[in-house]
Amino acid sequence: MTNAILLFQSHSFLSYGSFQGNKSRSFGHQRSVEQQRRLLRSVRPKSSKSLHSLSSLADPSKHHFLHVNDLTSSQLSKLLQIALEMKLELKQLGKYRTKPLDGKTLAMIFAKPSARTRISFETGMYLLGGHALYLGEEVGIGKREAVKDVARVVSSMNDTIMARLYAHSDLLELARFSKVPVINGLTDYNHPCQIIADALTILEEKKRLQGVKVVYIGDGNNIVHSWLELTSLVELEFTCCCPEGYEPNPTLLDLVNRSHRGKASIEYDPWKAVVGADVIYTDVWASMGQKSSLQQRMEVFSPYQVTMDLMKASQNKDTIFMHCLPAERGRECDDKVMESHNSKVFQQAENRMHAQNAILLYCHGILNNQLV
């Protein structure tokens, strides 16, 4: 199966749709439509459901999406396949054939600002036929107004909530009191939408997730936590390379060990960590809320900058570079790496929308018959 996409050896894919039409649309630094078509053809089973039938799959049972491992391994595999097929349809036609979220509204609560999260959800909802409503810091969730009060009010007038918050406990409370599905747009604990987009990008580039070696270099932050959640579902190898004292939450390392699926490890030497890497990933050294300690962090993390020399130390010419953005060029990575042919950063950024569009359908219960 050298030409097939291998996510999980023990799970087969369900098809999202068969696609026709010859209108092509470019979305940045992406492979051609024909390449995407071949990629999908290698895994599509003979029987398939088209996008036209999606709206008829609606189920009153809806879902929150708060952690990557809210999904099962099989559900994750199929969700990624659906996202890939949705992306192809959009590239071929410049739109989706139907509007499965016609008349639906997404309330986006931003305690933390973001360019990619807002753009990807707003554009995605428009393409799916719905509408996204932006609620900024002025809402004062957990400060000006209790989280549970915001949850009750917002969910009474919207079909879904996406929240980008500081405290993960606020997100859990929001989901507890909401009448509608809640999507985690980021917290200080994890960032599941980003990691689904990352997995989609690796799937496009490597044709598989199983057996891929991912090396993250930098702070053991919320991105790392979601990568560990993913590793508990997928037979991949994940290494967090960080300075001592900046390791990820050990309970998530335990989660991976208990899963008996992927492998997770901590390494302190970046030159040792990257050997054999298929993916080298980094993030900013100081996230929002940590800028007061930036100078100290710059001193601690300076040996962990991703340079072209470090990329070459992987001893793998096909190693790809990933970054969740925004990037502080010249700190965690240099400009040459960002602009190199190994960099898939902007493909990764675009895939936020494609991954989240599939997540939106999942949360609305539209994919229940396919993610079984």
| Catalytically active residues, by annotation | 324
Residue 309's Cα: distance from chain center in Å? 28
Q: 207 Cβ partners below 8 Å, 6+ apart?
A: 3, 4, 5, 6, 39, 42
Q: What does residue 216 show for φ and ψ, rounded to 5 degrees? A: -95, 130
- Residue that the structure tokens 């991912």 belong to: 214
Q: With CA atoms as reference, report the closest residue to 313 among 273, 341, 350.
A: 273
Q: 216 Cβ partners below 8 Å, 6+ apart?
A: 223, 224, 227, 238, 239, 240, 241, 281, 282, 283
Peptide bond into 326 cis (omega under 30): yes
Instruction: Compute CA distances 202 → 35, 36, 212, 337, whole Å.
Output: 15, 14, 9, 17
- Distance between CA atoms of residues 131 and 144, nearest Å: 26
Report the alpha-carbon angle 334-336-338, nearest 5.
Answer: 75
